[in-house]
Structures are given as C-alpha cells and as structure tokens.
Amino acid sequence: MAARDDTVLSELLRQVRCAGVIAKKNVRIYYLKGPVVTFGIVFPLFFYLAFAAGHDGPVSVMVPGIAAMALFFTASAVGPLITPWERQARTFERLITSPASLWAVLAGDAASGAAFGAVLALLPLTAALALTTAHIDAMWPLLAGWLLGATAFSSMGVLMAAPATDTPSQVMMLSNLVRLPLIFVSGVFVPHEQMPSWGQWLSPLSPLSYCADLIRVGFGGNAYFSVTIDVLALVGFSLAFMGAAHYFHRRTRNRPA
Amino acid sequence: MTHSPQSGSSETPALRAEGLTRRFGEQVAVDGVDFTVGQAEIFGFLGPNGAGKSTTARMLTGFLPPTAGRAWVAGIDVNLQPSAARLRIGVVPEEANVYADLSVRQNVLLMAELHGVAKVERERRCMELLDTFDLRERAAQKGRQLSKGLRQRLMLCMALVSEPQILFLDEPTSGLDVASTRMIREVISRMNRERGMTVFLTTHNMDEADQLCHRVAIIDRGRLAAIDTPAALRARVDARRSVVVKFAGPGATPAELLPNLDLEVEAAVDGWRVFSPEPGPLAQHIAARTVALGLRIESLNTVSPTLQEVFVSITGAAHGRA
C-alpha cells in the first residue's frame, strides 16, 4: 500500500495545533462559566482562611499559601470533568476520530486547565499584593512555580479523568479524595519544619509542596527542598501524570462500545 | 463532472481491510474481515445488532486498534499513521455528538480547525455547507437547541467541512423525518457523484442500502457473510422471487389456484403471494387458472426479492433482530 510522506516534524506541528484548538474549545465551553470562575477563586480562599484564622502567620507565609492553593484548585478543578462530560456527550469519540491524537487531546485538556488556573489565580495574588505588605522578592522562582505548578495540577486533573466512567459525580468524588489530602501534606497550612514526621515523609509526594515552595521563594521565603528540585519535581509530576493518563485512556478505549 | 466507482480498478483503494480482527477478552467481535472499497464507491455495511458493524467502523476510523489484521484508508495504514489517515476521513456516528454549548457555526469551524483548514477557507466552506443543509439561519443557535434531524444535518456539515476523501456514516437517517432523510440521501449521492467521495455506510435500512450503495457487505457474528452489488445479492435468492395476485371480488384458495404445485404461499391483501424462482410462467398459470375458475383478477405482479429478504436469508436473522 502507498505510504504518505508526513514527516515527524509536520506530524508534531499538526498535533500541537490540534492541542491548541482543543484547549481553546475547552476554555470556551467549560471554563468561562460564572460558577466555575467563582468556585475557583472563592473556595480556596475561604478554605485557607478557615484554617489560617487564629494563626498568627506572617503575610510572607500566608500570601504564598493562598496563591498556591488558588492555583491548585483552579488548575485542577475542571480538568477531571471534561472527559466524563465528553464521553457522556460522545464528543470524546469525535475528537479521537479527528486528526488529533490521544496525546493532543490530553495535552489540550491540560493546557486549558493550566491557562485557566494560571490566569484566574492571579486575582487573589494581586489582591494579596495590594492589600498586604507582602511583596515579590524573586520573580523567576515565582514564575516557574506558577507555570509549572499550573501544568502539574491540570495534568493531575487530566489523569483523574482517565477512569472508565462517563459519570462526572464519580470523578468529582475521586478528585476531592485525592486533592484534599495533598493540601495537608504540602506545607501550605503548616510549615514543613513543624509537620509531624509522617507529614514530612508524605510531603514530597504532593506536587503542591514544590509549587508552594517556589512561590514562597518568590516572596522572599526559604525553600524547603531547593529551587532546582522544585522545578524538576513539577516537570516530572506533569510528565508522569500525562503518561499515566494516556495509558489509562488507551485501556478504556479498548473496551467494547 | 461525475465520478464512477473504481472497485475493480488497479488504483489505490479508498478502504482496505485485511484479516481485520477485534477481540474483547474471550469474545470475538470481528473475525478476520477482508474487503476493499474502491474510490468513489458507496459501500453499504449491513448486519444484525451485535454483528460487528460498529466495531469494524471503529477500527477503520482509528478509534479502536485491531487485535489482528490491518486496515488502510486512502492507502495509509490506520495504525501506523492514524492521524494522517484521519485527515482524509469524515465521520458521522449514529448518536449525535455535536457540542451542545457551541453554536452550529462554531461546531463546524471546530472540525475544520482540527483538520487544519485555513481560516478563510473554513469560513467559506462552513457557510456553503450550512446553505446546502438549510442551516444558515440557525448558524448562531446552540447545538442543544436543535432537533434530531437538524443535529444530524449539522453532523454531516462537521464531517464534510474538511472535504474528506472517505465519509463514514453510521445509520445517518435513523429516526429522521421524511424531508431530512431525503435531503441527506440526496446530498450523499451528489457528493459521491460530483466529488468522487467514497462513502462507507453502516445501516439497518435495506431500502437505503438498495438505493444508495454500489455494493454491500453483510456481516454476521463478526464474519463477512456476503459482499456484492445489491442486484447480484438479490439474484442469489431467486427462490424468493414471487407473484402477487389480487382478486377483484371473491378469490380462490391456494389449493384451487395451484393444484399439483408445491409452492410456498403467503397471504397478501385480497389475494396471495406465491414464491417461485420462475415467476413469469407462474403468473401465466395463475392468470389461466383464475379465468378457468370464473374469477376476476384486479392485479398480478412479479416481485423480485428485497434486500431485506436477502439479508434474512443470509444471516438467518428474524426481522425484529435486524
């Protein structure tokens, strides 16, 4: 049979373009909704304040904590639901039978979550900068934590969407079951140094730990791990989440219609 | 310009399946299917529920990897170059899968963008298709606001906006009103005729297959049971040719009408349907016998077997199963 002369580069560019189209579609359909935007800002803010109230933490600890929490919640909020929704509406099958590969579909989902989280979480960050004495001390660690953290969290959301279900409520339960414990071991509420030993053991398993660490450095705080480890860990988490999501999606697809 | 199907030519086939097999655990859904679909051919894929039609289509569109065997779309191996293969196809699934929160126009443009159609061109094609399917006035309506028939038309627009070489249609007119059904069939025929677009049509509707398809394949229990033109398939079941006699006034019983003839007879409105591989002589015999009995004939017709009868004969399926 005849073969086509699609080069690796042209195929790669096509998939990047498809991922961009899918991300744009996701933002339009799933993210730019009043309740999603409100939930993404209000929930992490009040969740944090509920724990921080009564604690006399310095703003240099509180502000990075709120910012990291907002980023974590906004970037991972909708991603777990997109695939179940699209499976339910059969639009997932439409994407998979388009020229977009499964990688491109997942990358589009992750990119839309990351972009949404990174932009929306700027609101509490800006408010905190305007209303408190906190100030940015080092831009690059903050920027790295912001972008890599958003990517890792949205990739985690994409992985949560991989189980073979088209029932969003099931995925939502799983999502909260995973996300809430991660907050407690990430050093957002309680500094790593003051955590019990089991918390210090579990902390490296949470991507939020590394993101919060980088943001803290950005606000003039000290890194618990190190900036290099934080960056590598967030990149590693993103790749691992995407790889696992791809594996589980392929397994799901191999089931009868 | 019109295009004629190329199933027998040496050109690269539009579709080719070679030993295509799909297992789900112990269950074999599709079992070593081989066929070729020529360029500009409308190819019907028929079978009872659970026969493996959709699974075959899913393997051909790259949604599902085969357990064994290979498939090519426009000469491209679907498993080795899935994205390149899918660039050349348009898919209209049985269940509507338009984006409910996007407008009609946005749905069409989304598919054009995914296929890499240039911006100016995709706008032009989108509007042209919306005109063809009488959807232009609804361009701003959300997918959720459309009726089933309109959604089906939108799905065809979404599949056609990339000007695919091969169009996969799964029950495209199932449950639609007469006007939508007619419009969809006309457009499919026209696209095939004028643009040389190959169509892979999965359907339960035998009339539709008979009207539209150059060739049909019948799949049963995961295996291809027959593949030929509708006329050739009908010829395989000559025993199902028949004569339908309708009496004006009182009629005769089969025993009176056909003494000494052991033929299958079934009741028809005001008469009988008698099956025979040679309906011509049988019609003459019935006419003569009716005159001899002093009765009057209102109508006397020879009837060829329908594709439905061919289907039932080949698959052994009950009508309700098909």
| ipTM of model | 0.85
What's the structural domain count of chain A?
A: 1
User: Rounded distance, CA A180 to CA A185, Å?
Assistant: 9
CB atoms closer than 10 angstroms to residue B78: 25
| pLDDT category of residue A40 using cuts at 50, 70 and 90 | confident
Nearest CA in chain A to B62: A97
Average pLDDT over residues A29-33: 87
B307 alpha-carbon distance from chain centroid: 11
User: B83, B86, B158: best mutation site toward chain A, by most A Cβ within 10 Å?
Assistant: B83
Two tokens, residue A67: 């910012």
Asked whether the predicted pLDDT for residue A1 surpasses 70, the reply is: no
State the residue for tokens 């329908």. Answer: B306
Residues 93-122 of A with CB under 8 A from B: 93-101
Structural domain boundaries enclosing A106: 11-252
What is the edge-to-edge ordering of all strands in the sheet holding B215-220?
B89-92, B166-170, B198-202, B42-46, B215-220, B223-228
A73 within domain boundaries:
yes
CB atoms closer than 10 angstroms to residue B250: 10
Q: Beta partners for B244?
A: B273, B301
A1 within domain boundaries:
no
- The pLDDT mean for chain A works out to 86
Identify the pLDDT of residue B1. Answer: 56
A177 within domain boundaries:
yes
Amino acid at position A73, single letter: F
Partner A contacted by B55 (CB < 8 A) = yes
DSSP code at position B141: S
| pLDDT category of residue A52 using cuts at 50, 70 and 90 | low
DSSP code at position B216: E
Average pLDDT over residues A26-36: 86
Q: Which residues of chain B have pLDDT under 50?
A: 8, 318-322
**Percent of chain A, pLDDT > 90?**
41
A158 within domain boundaries:
yes
Most confidently predicted of A132-141, A197-206, B108-117, B206-215: B108-117
Partner A contacted by B63 (CB < 8 A) = yes
A3 within domain boundaries:
no
Residue from B275, B276, B269, B256 nearest B298 by CA: B269
Q: B27 contacts in A (CB within 8 Å)?
A: 256
Helix axis angle, A102-120 relative to A79-88, nearest 10°? Answer: 130
Q: Is A100 helix (H, G, I), strand (E, B) or coil?
A: coil
A170 within domain boundaries:
yes
Q: Closest Cα of chain A to B24: distance in Å? A: 7
Q: Closest Cα of chain B to A25: distance in Å? A: 8
Separation in Å, CA B61 to CA A14, A87, B71, B187: 18, 17, 9, 22
Q: Closest Cα of chain A to B63: distance in Å? A: 6
Residues A99, B102: C-beta atoms closer than 8 Å: no
A40 within domain boundaries:
yes
A145 within domain boundaries:
yes
Identify the pLDDT of residue A215. Answer: 94
